[in-house]
């Protein structure tokens, strides 16, 4: 049975702790044949909800790119640190109600996107896919999530839990943001040609640029130019 009270408590606490985004996805969405990545059920077999959390990244961090790369990178990490604190608090609240909870690595964090699978550079499971099914966002040509309120300027994490929360049931957004069709600015700006018009990304080109050429600083140009 869905726990509406716990759902509201989690939303209220996330908001008090300055999370800008919270949503709830049904983990069954990961069983769709179209989804090719790792699944939450592989991590927590009795998972019943995926809680998606996000913070908006201050615009100044993007507007000062590429000169402000160190500041941009540090600002992203500050977003990740903030999300970890919020997610930890929510996980503890869930466990006080006799459920179980575990926190996924943020996209781009030291345990996230680039590190989970060294060969494919794919995350352990896609937070962006969960965010789409939580009704929070869709996908852009830059392979980032495009959130309803903040476009791609967000940092995200997710919590897996066996608590049955009020998961989103109706998804109204198209999978790929419609504005991408006539824009393609992210494809043109990418300094290493990692993004393609067919919607694919060469993760190795992007990672190689950031971790070798930029010495670990993040690039972010595909986010900076995005008009959404």
Q: Which residues bind ligand SF4 (CB under 6 A)?
A: 140-142, 177, 179-180, 183-186, 189-192, 194-195, 206, 209, 219-222, 225-228
3 to 16, 22, 49, 169, 224: CA distances (angstroms): 20, 16, 11, 15, 39
DSSP 3-state percent helix, strand, coil across the chain (nearest 5): 40, 15, 45
Q: How far apart are the first and last CA of the chain?
A: 38
Query: Which residue's Cβ lies closest to ligand SF4?
Result: 140
Instruction: Give the nearest distance from C-beta 68 to ligand SF4 in angstroms.
Output: 14
In the complex with ligand SF4, which residue's Cβ is closer, 126 or 167? 126
CA atoms of 147 and 53, how far apart (whole Å): 11
In the complex with ligand SF4, which residue's Cβ is closer, 94 or 222? 222
Instruction: Give the nearest distance from C-beta 212 to ligand SF4 in angstroms.
Output: 12
In the complex with ligand SF4, which residue's Cβ is closer, 39 or 179? 179
For 116, how many CA atoms within 13 A lie in the half-sphere containing its CB?
Answer: 17
In the complex with ligand SF4, which residue's Cβ is closer, 30 or 72? 72
Instruction: Give the nearest distance from C-beta 192 to ligand SF4 in angstroms.
Output: 5
**Residue 92, Cβ neighbours under 10 Å: how many?**
10
């Amino acid at each position: 049975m869905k726990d509406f009270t716990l759902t509201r408590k989690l939303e209220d606490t996330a908001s008090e702790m300055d999370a800008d985004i919270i949503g709830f996805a049904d983990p069954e969405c990961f069983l769709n044949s179209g989804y090719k990545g790792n699944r939450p059920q592989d991590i927590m077999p009795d998972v019943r909800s995926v809680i998606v959390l996000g913070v908006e990244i201050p615009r100044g961090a993007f507007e000062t790119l590429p000169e402000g790369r160190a500041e941009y990178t540090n600002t992203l990490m500050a977003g990740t640190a903030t999300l970890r604190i919020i997610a930890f608090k929510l996980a503890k609240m869930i466990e006080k109600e006799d459920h179980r909870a575990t926190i996924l690595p943020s996209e781009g964090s030291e345990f996230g996107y680039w590190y989970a699978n060294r060969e494919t550079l794919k995350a352990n499971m896609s937070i962006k896919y969960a965010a789409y099914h939580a009704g929070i966002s869709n996908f852009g040509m830059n392979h980032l999530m495009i959130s309803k309120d903040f476009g791609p300027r967000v940092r995200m994490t997710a919590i897996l839990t066996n608590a049955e929360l009020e998961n989103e049931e109706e998804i109204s957004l198209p999978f790929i943001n419609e504005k991408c069709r006539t824009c393609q600015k992210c494809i043109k700006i990418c300094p290493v040609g990692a993004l393609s018009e067919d919607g694919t990304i060469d993760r190795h080109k992007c990672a190689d640029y950031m971790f070798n050429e930029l010495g670990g600083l993040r690039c972010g140009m595909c986010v900076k130019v995005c008009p959404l």
